[in-house]
Amino acid sequence: MLYYLVHAQPWTAFRYNPLAFICLPFIVVSLLTSALAIKVPLPVQVTGLLNTYAYPMGVGFLLLVIGFTIARNIPVLPFCALAPGGC
């Protein structure tokens, strides 16, 4: 997928892995804010929110990835369209 993004083919990148394509901007922002948090301390309110919602969001994302992986391997018409080869 990253190969197609680097070569300016976003539609093909989305076709190969739509979940990663949608999640990639959030992952980049998360990594940047984590890197900046090491250099610049975050306010107490932001740190409290991160501590409160990090675990439930992580579990929800894990369930989303597992559900997407199972759905794209079901050989029925609406689900097989998620696979790179399609139906």
Q: What confidence tens digit (pLDDT) does each residue in 30-58 have? A: 888 777 777 767 676 666 776 777 788 88
Among 30, 33, 32, 14, which Cα is nearest to 22's? Answer: 14
pLDDT score of 84 = 83
pTM of the model as a whole: 0.70
Residues 30 and 1 in one domain: yes
Residues 49 and 86 in one domain: yes
Residues 30 and 69 in one domain: no
Domain count, the chain: 2
Residues 6 and 36 in one domain: yes
In sequence order, the 6+-apart residues with CB closer than 8 A to the CB of 86 are 80
The residue range of the domain holding 70 is 44-87
Is 82 or 42 the better-scoring residue by pLDDT? 82
CA dihedral 13, 19, 24, 26 (to 10 degrees): 150
Is 6 or 40 the better-scoring residue by pLDDT? 6
Residues 49 and 29 in one domain: no
- Checking if the pLDDT of 23 tops 70, the result is yes
> How far is C-alpha 71 from the chain's CA centre?
16
